Structure 1
Amino acid sequence: MYKKSLVFLFLVFTVCHGDIFEECEDVESESFVSSWQSCQSYVYCDGDESMLGECDEGQYFDPETSSCDDAANVKCFLDEVDEPSVEEEPEPEPTPPVMEQPTDVEIVNTAPVVKPNCPNSDDPSQVIFMANNASCADYYLCYHGHAIEMHCTNQLHFNGLTGQCDYPENVHCPLDEPSAHKCLPHITDFFPHPDKCSYFYYCIKGFLTLQQCPFYYGWDIERRSCVQLNVAKCYGNSRRA
């Protein structure tokens, strides 16, 4: 079994002076312990000089040998613990308008139309949709001048050309393009981290700051918030660890 020595562990340390690691409680100084963040990470405990480190891709930290090893050779406690069930507080939703019950149901065979704004009056022979500029999967159904929020399921995106939910590769949503993630002086927004799903960027007036979701949470590019990591839709090929 191939083991990396502790000498090489220092080469991948991320210096975090001043941070307090709960993993180091009741642990002897100058010790290496498993990180509670991921199986790939570990902590060097030495008081104020404690640091967070990370093994190479495809490796886990082995607390029995205090070294990195292939993931298949390491039994990680995070793989055995179910993620905590945390109910998210639902965001308040606007009260939809009262739908009038039609006396006769007419089948509309014409294709839906996508407009930038909902018209004040409806055409009984035409369905009007409106795209959501803040989400690839959300869109609006126009009804008597009101925009009723709708959502594409099964990880589909709303296609503004056809007025239907479609595969992302057919839609090419601009929010998924890296060029859209620019922090300009007039922008206050959130952007996903390109490599790690548990991180995201907060852009305020041209300044970009790195933020981190709580443990077991990741940044969802559609909900634009931190959700449980196992259900988060991460950006591109970013790692969930």
Structure 2
Amino acid sequence: MGAVTFLTIILVTLLGHRSSALEFEECASAPQLGVYVASSSNCSKYIYCAGPGSFEAECLDGHYYDEKLERCLDRKLVSRCRDPVGITTKSPSMVKKPAQKAEPLAITLRLLPNAGPCYPYMVCYEGAGLAKACTPAHLVSCNRMQTRENIINCQEGVYGFMPHPRNCAYFYYCSSGSKLVHRCHLNYTWHYERRSCVQQSERMCYSEQLRLIRNKIGKANRT
């Protein structure tokens, strides 16, 4: 009984610290919880407003957040941050940051440094994605590093990306037994080894590889 009480005190303390640390002025004008808003101080940043679970994220280098489209775009296409004389102004923090090499439409699993009983994470799709958070019961799964192995079966306790078995333009995100389907942008396909959307010229479809394997097995059985 004493151990349970002690654990409860720890969780309440951590949750309280998280609530006080995550407050954004931009969220005060948000129409509802669970929406993304642009940062008022940095064009490349955006905020997910979810009360105590709110957090700030940043687009890839050279991209700004477009609040109307709710996604990161090339900074030249974002009108609210366009300089009238054609010179793009970067914030000091952005100038100091080295340019990061990233593939177009890269999809990543990002751990966010928030206080709490278990670190929340975000599935990022073109700079804006789905906010997720593990419960204390999933603490082990939450802290475990994601392997590079392809997930084929979406089972309980499994978190990660899965290729679509029939259509190369689609892919799944598996969250402990629940599959959420996503689609790559037009003329992009899901590369099942890189686990990201790539151009047609770089395609590597899981469905095509699966078909080749089945054909080989069929030929072997006939001989």
Same fold (TM over 0.5): no
Q: TM-score, normalised by structure 1?
A: 0.26
> Which protein shows a greater Rg?
1
Comparing both structures, which one devotes a greater share of its residues to helix? 2
